[in-house]
Each structure stands twice: as structure tokens, then as C-alpha cells.
Structure 1
């Protein structure tokens, strides 16, 4: 069965802010509909809790440790293979509609003579995708210029709609209006309860949904495709147009997950983040009370426009030939653990929603089920390759296909632990701790029961018992009673660190096939005489000796 793949990513969407995941007030019927038709993976972890590094792992199927793009605006090196490289050779087009947060390796491209406006150069510059539309949704301007210097198609759309320039992304779509008629910037969280100064149909989420539907209409009868529809929301600025700004109130905010003991003798890296500007902001309940209803409104808007996509697939007859994947690049603390945004490895930050609908009959047995296997974001690349009819190149792609779980099978060799990494060298926490960039590295190991964090630079570890402390409130990293568990987690980390990850140009199967082949190509080493060597191998080395030419 030939299938298309609709790979939808939401930015900064928490795993537990969906009704199918148990949120008591935020109803998301369209996410729920996909979950009812497919499998919801309840233990899905990203390979880094920050946009750029996480996304590069999704797109390459490789750990951050392997692809090296460890933070936002760290270039993905030119030689890394991506989804586009793997899928195109299987006959599947690979398109981008929205955000990647990818920065091109311009120096590497120049060294290899790759022009950015060539077909190959454009794909290398865009994480392997052909671009239907790219807009990273970060068109903010400061004293030194714009954060994102690329052309913003969404800004151009707003200008063409008559919104005032030069930056309607901020001034209209991500800002409200004060009682005095001034801009109420969404970057100031006090304004999160105001409606964004934009018509709902012109805001970012419906705009990108329009783009996605236009793409599917244009490609309805062509070659099979993988379309990465990548929304900027519910990522900050936390502000949403009417009527979504007023759909939720403080009575529908879930109780904050934090405890006083978390701030008593905290891990130094954790302390640096929780006392940073973002963490401190979310210590104040009034910040949560104004931000969380807006965040919920942003998610509700995402769900409504997901409904438009599902309606289009139904009406166009493409639902039965389209795999749908819903996920996120990371979560959002929302004040839990005295933190805001993301950055560390508590569940609200590093665990993400992952829902997969496969229309194939082979998936009928698992429809509407929840899988609690330890899943990593890099598994999607392997899943897509298998879906496209290919064999996963395990020497390149480090994730594993999720298709066995989707078919109702239980692999007996599935992973015992999942890994996430974080390079915080560019953050204020690194400055506060006085850390050199090479030491600003964090590693998470999570098993079905334990969550562990190792920090380079001589710090102690962190450890949580997810069975007895599912909210991760008691750090056992200094507990003498848990030394054996800590040692076991270090063993897992060392096992992972010793994996083969950089030999990407030749597979194990090719190496095995070539063993001994050099003898047949003329290389015979270690032989004292002909004993034990076949006549065929020696055929070019025996016979009458040639005469030495006379040079006189």
C-alpha cells in the first residue's frame, strides 16, 4: 500500500495538555480522533529539550552527540543525511511547510562549492527538505536587528492583507492593544490575557494550515510525499487571537507541580536555571494565571485547525492513504519545578506527545491503544523509511522503526533506556556557573522506573524514582541508599556513549561481506608458504619466473 506521510510538529506542546492524555479541562477532539484511529506513545522523549537540537535529531534520526547541532543556530554539518536523503531514493518526495530552526553549514557548503541556489545546495540549506514554505515564526526585532534574518512569508502575507508594517508578526499577530491604544507586546507576559491584534483567520496557525491544505491539493495525484507541517504554536509569545484568548480561566489551571524541598540543596545546574530570569518569572502565581489560559487557547486553536486538515483528508479521499504523525519538539514547564520554558529533563520539558495513525490494515489491531514503550524522537526517521518501503540503514539512522508496535508486535530486544542531551553553553546558567563551553553538557538516561541526569564539570548526578515519585520532586542524586542505581545508570550512559555512531559511510553488512575479499584482489598477508592457501588464490603468484631484461 503506497502511503503519504503527514508529519505534523507543534512547537513547545506539553505531553499532558491534550484531553486524550488526561487534561481535565482542555478538550482536543481532533488530537483525540487521531489517537482513537492510531497509537498514542506515552513514553516518548526528545533527544534534546531545545528547539534546534531536538529538530535536527528528528530530521536526521541521530542523537545530538552524533549530528553535533547541539543548540539553536548551531549549524547542521553538511555531511549529515536527513529524511529527504533517505526518502527521495525510495521514491518519496520530502517537503517542508513551516518551521525547522535549522541553520545551514555555510562554511562547509562553500568549502565543497555548493551554491545555495542549486537544487542540492538548497536541500542542504534546508535540512534536506524541498520547501513549500518556510517560516520559523521568530520574526522579533531588537536593537541589533531581527532574531531571524530570513524572509518571513507570514509577514508578507500580513502586509498583503493590509496589516501595518514593518513587522506585523510582532505588532499585530503577537501583540494585543493596551487601553491607551499602544502595542501590548506578547513578549511581556502580563499581556497574555489580551486578544492578539489580528483576525483569527489571519493568525499563524490558520495561515500555516492553509499552506498545508494547498500543498495537499497540489500534490493529490503525484508521487508519494512526506510533508513536514511544522507549526510555531503554542510556543511563546503566549498570546492568541479572539475568541481563544477567553476560552479558559484561572479555575481551569492544573495545580502546579513543585515542592519546597526542590529548592533545598538543589543541583547547581538546576539551581542556575530555576533562579534565572525565566524560572523566577514563573515562581509568581500571577504569571501562571495569565499565561496558562493563553497557552491552552493556543493549543485549542491548533486542535481546531488540525480538524480542518482531517476534514480535507476525509473529503478528498486521502485519509486511507496517509499516515498521520502528531508530535512536538519539546514541552514547557509552565512553572512546574520552579521552572519556565524548557531546558532540563523533567517530564514537562523532555517528554512529548507522539500519536501515529497508520491507515494500513496491519495496524487495525492497535487502533485506539496506548503504548508505554520507551520511544525516542529519532525513531520517527526509521519509521518513515520503513513506511516508504526501505530498509533502515542502522549505521546511519540511530532510531528504530515504531512499525512493530503499530502492528501490535512486541520486539523482544527493544531499548531498556532512552537518552536526551543538552548543551547549555550559550545560556545565562553557564555564565552564572562560570563554566567553559566544553563542560556545559548534560545527559539524561531514563528507564521505565528511573530518571537520571549527569552533568559534566564535576557535579553530582540527579536521580528520580518515577514509580514512587512520578512528579520528580525528590532528587536522590546524593542518596547513599541509591548508589547501586546510580552506578547502573552510569553503565547505561557508558554503553550508549560507546555505540558506533560515526562510521556512516559503510554498513556492518558491507564490512561483513567484504571480509577476506582482499585476497581475491591480490593481497595475501601472513603466509609463510603455500600451505593452506588454495591454488585459485595463489594462481597469480606461481609459475615460471620471468627473465630479467638485459640493459647493456
Structure 2
């Protein structure tokens, strides 16, 4: 292609894969994302590297597993020096910019130790996870959490007549009750009320506009724009008419069983006893919240329609790869749970749609694949698209071009996801040390095995039990599958995850050349040294 190659990397927050009609949902219609799927490829089995915002995003932004980059929980900074997508793309001559959320906190201690100030050019990139900040909006109460950014949206609301000490809280996250009272969007029973902010000024609408603004300002330099939406993440509050567009009768049946509630697994017992899961176990609140969750998804799809129309009208479809995904899902009452967490498909499996403008992708347009894809596959996909050099010693994912261009069948046989629950309340009643509060999922396309440190594993057969309602982890009849999958876990854990400063080619060169110049180990005499093609130091003769 003669034109610049650009990437529009769109991410929704907490969006379930099965709440899009292109993935078979019948309770909601998402025509604009369906259209994108018709122009590209839909990936049916995509798993995040951790089912929680921060560590999931850090894996997206580095192409590395959570055990490799170390930012295993929300608010755990990505350490200084960890290579990011932005670092790799700048080497390839492309700009890498942020419009929206990253959930990134800078490694302030590491920056201070190295003498890097946030105001410096390098410090600004380190503090923003490698992105050049165009707009930063984390969708949180930044008055109480000053490290979470949102001043750009606050300024926009004030410019449009919506003032206050914290406009995000007072307009986007507040509703007016039936008697004129101010109702907080944090309170789930208020979720069905319309947000004070009009739909044309909602966060989703504003971020779409800012994404378009960014694209319009770009010249000839290739760019990646990470357009990262806040919704449909909580607070579950939507502007009219999306707040009451759906009702309880529109909801899919909740996916859970009485047998799950009676589990003998101590971790699952403790997990279902946490407050958020107790809350979403009741039908009453689910019937209030889930329809609004659907309304937020519908609003997002409408904004995608506006964005895609702009890309078509301006010819950007010809030179821009478009990727749509989410950072994880939402349990929404399934398995007696709320929030995200754990490795059920409603949480750890995500939608992924990729439109590749290159002619090599024409044969796969409008198709789908069941290949096991991981979130870390996007970084090498973008780097390859931009013409950058592959870095398998750093980036642990694989470029999706093989699947997009249908050029081979050598693909991974299992996907991995990890979870550090040391900060979760469920750890305390179990008496677990924080170092043991960790889980690892190994999924081979049928069997989902979950290693639980200090406890027995969990096991689900998604062929006979696609709803993941029957834990087979304590069934002796499946001991062979547990042994096989545990071996895959051990195989993955033994791989190099932190040897990133030397490429495979460099290591091959070292092994071929032997010791470095001036070092002679185990050499018998001058003749043997010469036979090896090496010279003695000039001041000696033998």
C-alpha cells in the first residue's frame, strides 16, 4: 500500500463477548459492530491475560503475560523500562497515541530512583504506558483518586454548561430522582434512572468526537490511536434514552445452578460470599442493572456507527486497520457472581473484531475463526502491520496476520490467563498468604483447567458443559485430563518470560562464536586455538 498504515485500536471496558449480535446474541442488536465484523474477521475464542482491568491492559500494551510484566493488579504500576507497544511502534516510525482510558499508574518510585521526571519527554511516555497522551480519561472519581485522570472531560462538561466541583461525578454519574433529588450512579438501585448528562455529551459520545479529532489532525506519519472507552463499565448509569431502552424481559436467562452454590471448593465458596457477588445473586438488582448495561452497549454501538461513517467518508478505511475488543467481560449474576473476576467465559473471554485493509485479508472478510487467541497477540499484529521487526524474545504474543491472511495452520494449542487475588476479600477467610493467592487458567479449546495454589484445581469440559456449570476438578474419572493440562501449565511456566535484553539471533551468534575476544577457556595450546580460528594476543608467541 502506498498510503500510510494506521491503526485504530478500539477498546470497550467490561464488555461481554456474548452481548453483541455478531456473536449470536439475540437479546440485543449491535448493527454497527456487526458491520465491522462483515468487513473483517471475527475471533470467537479470544482470552485476556487477566480478567481484571489493570493487568489485562498492561498485557495488551506490552504483548506480555502478567507474570512477565509484573503489574498483576489494579494500581500496580508497570515498572520503568518494561517495553511497551508505543516503544515498539516508535522504532517503526509510527506515533502511538491515547484517547481515553489506560488504567495505568506510573512507577513513581522507579522513575525517582532513575532520575526521570514526569515532565520530561521520556518521563511522560513512561507515565502513560508508552502512549503519547491526546486525551486521558479513566472514568473514575478523580477527586478522591487524583492519580486517575479525567480533567479533559470535566473541562468539556463545564464548557457546555455542566459545572460543579466534579462534573464527571455530578453529571455523568448522577441522576435526578422522581422527587427531584440527586441520585448517585454508584447506588445500583438508581441504575435505571437517566444520567443528568445528555446523550450528546456522554463520555462515549465525547470520546468518539475526540477520536475523530485526533485522526483529522494527523499528517503523513503512520499512527496508532488507542480509542479506549469507559463504558459499559460501572457505574451502571446511562443517559436517556439508553437508560430504559431495555427491561427485565429483554435479559438473557441468568447462567448459574444450585449445584454451583453448593460447591465443595473452598475458594469458590469464599468467592461467592463476597459482597459484590451476594449483591448480584439476587434477581431484583440484576433486573435493574443488566438492562442498563445493555443500554450502555447500545449507546456504544451507536457511537461506533458515527465513527465508522466518518472513516468511510474520509477514505480512512483504505489505510487503517481497525480493531475492536474489550479488556474483559462482566459476570452480571452468572455463576452467582457480579463484577469481573475468575475465568468463566463471561469474564475472561472477550469480543475481538479485526478489519485489515490489506488485500491479503480479502479472502477472510466476513468470516470467523475458532483459533485460540490471546490479548497479547495484538501488539505483534500492530508491529507487523507497521513494518516493524518481530521481537519474539520480548513480545510473547503472535501476529494475527497468519489468521487474517489464511497463510498457515501452525497456531497455539492452548491459551493462558492469570489472576492475582491477593487483594481480594476472599483470601482472608481462607488464611492464605498473599504469595499463594494466585490462579492460572489453561484452556485448550475444550477443557478449561484452573490451577489453584494450595487447593485442588477446577476443571470444566466446554464441549459437554458449554455453560461451565459442572466443576470436574474433584472427579477421579477426569484425572487424566487434569494431569495433561497440569503438564501444559508446567511447560508454559518453564519458558523464558524475563530474558528480554538479548534476541535469539544474538544468542545464536554468541553460541557460534564461543568466548568473547581475549577469553581462552579450556584451550590446550596455540595450535588448537588457531584451529578454532582465533588469534592469540599480539604480545605472546605461544
Measured against the shorter chain, the TM-score band is over 0.9
TM-score by length of 2: 0.97
Structure-to-structure mapping, 1:159-178, within 5 angstroms: 159-178=158-177
Contact in 2 for aligned 1:48/1:350 (Cα 8 Å): yes
Corresponding position of 2:51? 49
Give 5+ residue unaligned stretches, structure 2: none
Cα distance in structure 2, aligned partners of 1:187 and 1:271: 26
In structure 2, the residue corresponding to 1:36 is in which secondary structure?
helix
Contact in 1 for aligned 2:518/2:537 (Cα 8 Å): no
Contact in 2 for aligned 1:328/1:354 (Cα 8 Å): yes
Following superposition, the deviation at residue 130 of structure 1 comes to 0.3
For 1:196-224, what per-residue CA distance to the aligned partner results, in whole angstroms no more than 9, with x for missing partners?
Answer: 111111111001011000001101x3301
Corresponding position of 1:549? none
Cα distance in structure 1, aligned partners of 2:264 and 2:460: 13
Cα distance in structure 2, aligned partners of 1:42 and 1:292: 23
For 1:313-340, what per-residue CA distance to the aligned partner results, in whole angstroms no more than 9, with x for missing partners?
Answer: 1111111111000000000011010010
State whether structure 2 residue 508 is matched by structure 1 residue 506: no
Corresponding position of 2:447? 450
Q: Which of 6, 12, 15 is equivalent to 1:13?
A: 15
Cα distance in structure 2, aligned partners of 1:165 and 1:266: 50
Contact in 2 for aligned 1:6/1:324 (Cα 8 Å): yes
In structure 2, the residue corresponding to 1:496 is in which secondary structure?
helix
Cα distance in structure 2, aligned partners of 1:11 and 1:542: 65
Following superposition, the deviation at residue 148 of structure 1 comes to 4.5
In structure 1, the residue corresponding to 2:350 is in which secondary structure?
coil
Corresponding position of 2:69? 67
Sort the Cα spacing of 1:542 and 1:325 in 2 relative to 1 into closer, same or farther, 3 A: closer
Sort the Cα spacing of 1:525 and 1:334 in 2 relative to 1 into closer, same or farther, 3 A: same
Contact in 2 for aligned 1:49/1:331 (Cα 8 Å): yes
Corresponding position of 1:100? 102
Q: Which of 231, 234, 239 is equivalent to 2:232?
A: 234
In structure 2, the residue corresponding to 1:290 is in which secondary structure?
helix
Following superposition, the deviation at residue 434 of structure 1 comes to 2.5
Corresponding position of 1:484? 480
Contact in 1 for aligned 2:139/2:150 (Cα 8 Å): no
Q: Which of 277, 281, 284 is equivalent to 2:282?
A: 284
Cα distance in structure 1, aligned partners of 2:241 and 2:37: 26
Contact in 2 for aligned 1:92/1:226 (Cα 8 Å): yes
Cα distance in structure 2, aligned partners of 1:222 and 1:468: 52
Sort the Cα spacing of 1:354 and 1:538 in 2 relative to 1 into closer, same or farther, 3 A: closer
In structure 2, the residue corresponding to 1:294 is in which secondary structure?
helix
Following superposition, the deviation at residue 431 of structure 1 comes to 2.3
In structure 1, the residue corresponding to 2:426 is in which secondary structure?
helix
Contact in 2 for aligned 1:138/1:147 (Cα 8 Å): no
Please identify the structure whose Cα radius of gyration is greater. 1
In structure 2, the residue corresponding to 1:374 is in which secondary structure?
strand
Corresponding position of 1:381? 379
State whether structure 2 residue 118 is matched by structure 1 residue 116: yes
TM-score by length of 1: 0.95
In structure 1, the residue corresponding to 2:371 is in which secondary structure?
coil
**93-102 or 260-269, larger mean C-alpha shift:** 260-269
Following superposition, the deviation at residue 520 of structure 1 comes to 7.1
Q: Which of 285, 290, 293 is equivalent to 2:291?
A: 293
Sort the Cα spacing of 1:195 and 1:346 in 2 relative to 1 into closer, same or farther, 3 A: same
Following superposition, the deviation at residue 114 of structure 1 comes to 0.7
Following superposition, the deviation at residue 373 of structure 1 comes to 0.4
Cα RMSD over matched residues? 1.6
**428-437 or 92-101, larger mean C-alpha shift:** 428-437
Following superposition, the deviation at residue 410 of structure 1 comes to 3.1
State whether structure 2 residue 406 is matched by structure 1 residue 417: no
Sort the Cα spacing of 1:280 and 1:535 in 2 relative to 1 into closer, same or farther, 3 A: closer
Contact in 1 for aligned 2:142/2:148 (Cα 8 Å): no
When the two structures are aligned, how many residues end up with a matched partner? Answer: 540
